[in-house]
Amino acid sequence: MANALRPHGPDRSHVVVNNHVGLANVLMRITPEDRFDRQPLVGSSEAVITADVRLDNRQDLLARMGAKQHDAATWPDSQVLLKAWERFGDNVWPILRGPFAAAIWDTSRQILTLARDHLGLNVVVWHRSEQFFAFASMPKGLFAIPEVPRELNEEKFADFLVLNHADHETTHYRNIFRVPPAHFVKVTASGSTEQRRYWSTADIKTVRLHSDQAYAEGLRECLDRSVRRQMRSAHAIGCHLSGGLDSSSVSVLAARALGEKNKRLSAFTHVPRLGFNEPVIDGCYADETLFVEAIRNFVGNIDVTYVRDHAGDAKLEEFFPAYDGPVRNPTALDGMLSIQHNARAQGRRVLLSGFFGNNTISWNGWSQAADHVRSGRLITAYRQWRLFYRRSTYSQWRAFYKLIVEPLLPSKVAQFSFRGRREALWHNHAAIRSDYAIAMGVEARAENVGHDFLYRMRRGERTAGLTPVDYIGDWFAAEKAITGVETRDPTADIDVVSFCFGVPPEQYLVENIDRSLIRRAMWGLLPEIVLANRLSGLQAADWHEKLENRHAQIAAELAELAASPLANRAIDFARLDKAMKNWPTCAWHTREVTDEYQFALARGIASARFLRWMESANDRQRAA
């Protein structure tokens, strides 16, 4: 298991075996204290820990325990966590800040505790048979055990194809499960398990301040504190930077913190090829350069690397072994990894981002309108509808329907309206065979887990957006294993989450400005062109050129992939063949072409390639 996980921890590995319990740990040194880490560690209670953990509130935990600073200077975060668990028991999990996946074996009570951070930024997967219980931070650790089969969970794979990522407990492999975000699991020596939730957004206390300005200042202070404590690193810091509000807010706060020490911040921005000037989807822009240059000039101590790539989806087979799963957006994979590789080449081993910002600091606030109607606050709902109409491309009636009516409709009624125009709710973007979707029960399972194929602005959508996909922790782990660069997101800090969810929702639409809270919070720190921007940056805007360059290769590959019985049963190759024959010569920016080629075709091929890779991995394992 340790050898299988070695790409995720190349700097040190160690195994401890005691009677019927074995624990392994592999380490990639990122924080200054990692050089002292000697996991698995034994505590004063003789409990043993192995963990993938970064404690962003390390100093607060030490203060709670009354630990002296000079004593704790050589304690890695895993040791701080173990001591805190010995002191507070399972009450420790809600007060941790930062990503963690922890396993603690209580030798006296013969109980194993597995715990995962609030938003699932790190991962714990497990398998139980009649003979043993096993866990790991990635599925490949479990497949190192001969008795754990690498067998596709076809229901989960079908959910992936239709973009239902709401179930955080299952994986793409049969009988391998995840500890869900904000949960811990107790496993006894007899093999019984008990799972408990330790935190939810319902636990967040309301934030009441005296003025609109106080809310804006409160967010800026909270985000600044999160950025600073996530900059603890043994290596140089960099950041993802776009023209949007999230990564730009994180970047300027990081630059300000570095500027206090006369240091500069390296930023990395993905842009299309030089000279790209193709039309894009309405409301979007293709190249971040205009806004990023405005930020660079405004702040003064940011150095920008513009990253371009032209390899198409050639990195898929490199990514599968690190990720253990299919890739949702293969046309953007090169750009994501290219930024990480560029950062590593410059010695940047930590990149700050703003991935979770859309549901925290820059939430658009629209889904609150239906709640105002429910509560009788009709004037507030009316004002928000007027603002939504002015900010959208909808007619007045269509804006009213999307904002007020549709969220209040029962799910089946809303879907009935949709079905009058489509073959299936997911048909536009998913290359799944209809008979396979029916056999796998994708609709019933989506209803069971609360996934809405209409993506309506309904109650609870913001909370669901905090854990938008079940694979986010796996993705970060795979990127880190391949590039040696760790992505951190201050907008996912639970203190930031708590502030953003605790303030009155009207703060996000104050003064008839959408995303008002972050715009006001960053006033004076970001240039006006960024604060006033209401367009969205388009990821991998030149995706179709890469696809066109591989046209002949794709046609040959489809025939090869269709030879797999499993892929042929799941993927609608007839549709993909038709798409190849009807190859467009223009209008790549239209929704119909994007759905058919960037999503259905590219994702269908990438998903079939994953199945082929999985079958090959099984063949290699059997041969070994």
Give the pLDDT band (50/70/90) at residue 115: very high
- Digit-coded pLDDT (tens) for 483-499: 999 999 999 999 999 99
Give me the DSSP letters along 287-307: --HHHHHHHHHHHSSEEEEEE
Give me the DSSP letters along 433-482: -HHHHHHHTHHHHHHHHT--TT----TTHHHHHHS--TTHHHHHHHHHHH
pLDDT higher than 60, residue 117? yes
Average pLDDT of span 596-624: 90
Range ranked top by mean pLDDT from 85-99, 420-434, 456-470: 85-99
Give the largest Cα separation in the chain, rounded. 70
Question: Which residues, including other chains, have CB under 8 Å from residue 19's CB and lie 6 or more apart?
Answer: none
CB contact burial 161-170 (16+ within 10 A = b; e otherwise): bbbbbbbbeb
pLDDT > 90 fraction of the chain, expressed in percent and rounded: 86
Give CA angle at 442 (157, 321), nearest 5°.
Answer: 10
- In this prediction the pTM is 0.95
CB contact burial 557-584 (16+ within 10 A = b; e otherwise): ebeebbebeebbebbbbebbeebeeeee
Between residues 461 and 105, the one the model is more confident about: 105
Predicted confidence at residue 416, as pLDDT, reads: 62
pLDDT higher than 60, residue 410? yes
Residue type at 134 in one-letter notation:
A
pLDDT higher than 70, residue 363? yes
Cβ atoms 179, 114 nearer than 8 A: yes
Give me the DSSP letters along 29-84: --SGGGGG--SSEE-TTS-EEEEEE--TTHHHHHHHHT--HHHHTT--HHHHHHHH
Residue type at 248 in one-letter notation:
S
Residue type at 222 in one-letter notation:
C
Query: What CATH class does 203-361+468-537 carry?
Result: alpha beta
Backbone angles phi, psi at 100, to 5 degrees: -155, 145
Radius of gyration of the chain (CA): 24
Average pLDDT of span 438-449: 94
List the beta bridge partners of residue 106.
111
What does the alpha-carbon distance between residue 558 and residue 572 come to, in Å, rounded to a whole number? 11
Give the pLDDT band (50/70/90) at residue 417: low
Give all strands of the β-sheet with 111-116 in edge-to-edge order. 41-42, 48-53, 100-106, 111-116, 183-188, 193-197
Tokens representing 444? 């019933």
Give the pLDDT band (50/70/90) at residue 190: confident
Tokens representing 320? 């599968």
Tokens representing 518? 């972050």
Tokens representing 133? 């219980």
Cβ atoms 61, 42 nearer than 8 A: no
Average pLDDT of span 83-109: 97
Q: Please choose, from the candidates 540, 497, 183, the residue with its C-alpha nearest in 3D space to the C-alpha of residue 338.
A: 540
Tokens 């996946």 map to which residue?
Answer: 101
523: three-class secondary structure by DSSP: strand
pLDDT higher than 70, residue 126? yes
The least confident of 455-459, 485-489, 564-568, 607-611 is 455-459
Residue type at 251 in one-letter notation:
S
Predicted confidence at residue 314, as pLDDT, reads: 55
The least confident of 257-266, 570-579, 612-621 is 612-621
Q: Please choose, from the candidates 486, 481, 483, the residue with its C-alpha nearest in 3D space to the C-alpha of residue 9.
A: 481
Give the pLDDT band (50/70/90) at residue 311: low
What does the alpha-carbon distance between residue 619 and residue 624 come to, in Å, rounded to a whole number? 9
CB-count burial class (<10 Å; 0-12, 13-18, 19+) for 297: exposed
pLDDT higher than 60, residue 514? yes
pLDDT > 70 fraction of the chain, expressed in percent and rounded: 97
What does the alpha-carbon distance between residue 60 and residue 77 come to, in Å, rounded to a whole number? 12
Tokens representing 1? 């298991």
List the domain boundaries for the chain: 203-361+468-537, 368-466, 543-623
In eight-state DSSP terms, residue 303 is E
Average pLDDT of span 505-527: 96
In eight-state DSSP terms, residue 569 is H
Mean of the per-residue pLDDT values for the chain? 94
Average pLDDT of span 33-42: 97
Q: Please choose, from the candidates 258, 509, 482, the residue with its C-alpha nearest in 3D space to the C-alpha of residue 377.
A: 509
Q: How many residues does this entry show for the chain?
A: 624
- Digit-coded pLDDT (tens) for 241-254: 999 999 999 999 99
Residue type at 231 in one-letter notation:
M
Predicted confidence at residue 419, as pLDDT, reads: 47
List the beta bridge partners of residue 17.
22
Tokens representing 291? 């806004």
